[in-house]
Amino acid sequence: MDYGNLFVCLMGMGTVFFGLVCLIALTRLMSIALHCVRQKPEAAVPAVPAAAASPAAGAITPELVAAVSAAVAEDLGTDITGIRILSIKPL
């Protein structure tokens, strides 16, 4: 069976369009499903004592300094002992 160029072109475009519509539908269904799961009432979480509370959102912790030092050392291609960070300012 010999198909014309127009038929092949329209079938290809139709297949792609159908696939995109399916992706959009699946994405919306997943969004609705996750939205419903997220809105379930959660059990009451006991209060955390003030002494064990995590540091403030913008606090500079030793772990943060270590991570920044390692990233800078990796980018520069040197050992971590070869750099010295003088200050870290949150943006």
Query: What would the pLDDT profile of 13-39 be if each residue is shown by its tens digit?
Result: 999 999 999 999 999 999 999 988 876
- pLDDT band at residue 85, thresholds of 50, 70 and 90? confident
What's the rounded Cα separation, in Å, for the pair 91 and 85?
16
* Interacting residues of 23 by C-beta distance below 8 A, sequence separation 6+: none
Contact 59, 89 (CB under 8 A): no
The two structure tokens encoding residue 87:
């200050």
The two structure tokens encoding residue 63:
């772990």
What pLDDT does residue 33 have? 92
What pLDDT does residue 15 have? 98
Contact 73, 83 (CB under 8 A): yes
pTM of the model: 0.39
